[in-house]
Amino acid sequence: MIWLLIVSFVWAFSFGLIKGRLGGIDPVIVAFVRMAIATAVFLPFLKPRALGVGLVTRLFAIGALQFGLMYVLYLHAYRYLQAHEIALFTILTPFYLALLDALLEKRFQMRFLAGGVLAVAGGAAVTWHRTDGTGLATGFFLVQGSNLCFAAGQLFYRRLRPNFPDGINDHQVFAWLGSGASVIAGLMTLVTSSWSDFTPTLPQLLVLIYLGAIASGLGFFLWNFGATQVNAGVLSVFNNLKIPLGILCSLAFFHERTDPVRLLASLGLMLLALWLIQAKGKTGNAPVRR
């Protein structure tokens, strides 16, 4: 669980960087560059002959879904929504995790759903407001598609992980996930983007390198690894923990304002959700062990 917490802090800090430093850059190109850098970070650890074609194909597909398509949809939503609206709409991810896990495991557990509901409430406590403006519906469905891709990818990876050969660790296969994400995002840049308009400044290049190597590379690797160590309910809570943490980072580093009472209420609901889900941790959907 410590890995999920670390990544939650890293991603919370990334909210301000994306909104404040990468404005004007094509979001599909940003998605491709981030995942290409993340893939390059893990290429030295890759063992191409250690996995069969079947496992490589499934890892490639999971990466294309969880990271590639997710990022394309998520970053594209910034064209239609404000950052706080995107934060609001991402709080539905725990529902997708709980429902998809119930479908995959062919069983329904009320405490996971209850934890997901509390996690959603925790996110809503700090982000809920009236939303207006053109493109709201388009942005909403883009974010929901992104949420669904990220939720499904986490669960598919948890189920695939026990099939790895002995001696193969998570960092030795991450480049396959990143390759899938890079290919899907790269193909989409050929259709939707103009590379001639990609003229980032030096500060923007540095932000892209940081986001690719740390937030996307180490972040996604540690997140998927952490997802194999916890049950689906705990995973659903951490999917929303980044919302109040993101606001804390915005207050501390990017000088934004928020309601401290609502922020404390959000964190309290997150902790309550985590306690509820772990209260009967010895039963139900156990974590996948390495």
Q: How far is CA 202 from CA 27, 147, 191, in A?
A: 18, 31, 26
Query: Could you tell me the sign of the dihedral formed by the alpha carbons of 75, 76, 81, 87, in that order?
Result: negative
pLDDT of residue 290: 29
pLDDT of residue 108: 66
pLDDT of residue 231: 78
pLDDT of residue 259: 72
Cα 19 to chain centroid distance, Å, stands at: 16
| Nearby residues of 111 by Cβ (< 8 Å), 6 or more positions away | 233, 276, 277, 279, 280, 284
pLDDT of residue 54: 94
Q: How far is the C-alpha of 159 from the C-alpha of 72, rounded, in Å?
A: 25
Which of 246, 236, 245 minimizes the C-alpha distance to 99?
A: 236
What tokens appear for 246 in the block? 């993101």
CB 56 within 8 A of CB 179: no
Q: How far is the C-alpha of 288 from the C-alpha of 152, rounded, in Å?
A: 16
pLDDT of residue 234: 79
- Domain extents for the chain? 2-278
What tokens appear for 104 in the block? 């995959």
Q: How far is the C-alpha of 286 from the C-alpha of 3, rounded, in Å?
A: 18
| Nearby residues of 123 by Cβ (< 8 Å), 6 or more positions away | 87, 88, 90, 91, 240, 243, 244, 266
Question: Per-10-residue mean pLDDT for the chain, 290 residues long?
Answer: 85 78 89 95 90 95 96 87 71 77 75 74 68 72 92 91 91 94 96 93 94 90 81 74 72 69 77 69 35
| Nearby residues of 165 by Cβ (< 8 Å), 6 or more positions away | 50, 51
Backbone angles phi, psi at 68, to 5 degrees: -70, -65
pLDDT of residue 287: 31
Please name the residue that has the structure tokens 């949809």. Answer: 73
| Nearby residues of 226 by Cβ (< 8 Å), 6 or more positions away | 1, 2, 3, 4, 7, 238
pLDDT of residue 228: 78
Determine the Cα angle at 213 with ends 208 and 215, to 5°: 80
pLDDT of residue 256: 63
Q: How far is the C-alpha of 263 from the C-alpha of 256, rounded, in Å?
A: 13
CB atoms within 10 A of CB 36: 19
Radius of gyration of the chain (CA): 18
Note the pTM of the prediction, 2 decimals.
0.79
Query: Which amino acid appears at position 256 of this protein?
Result: E
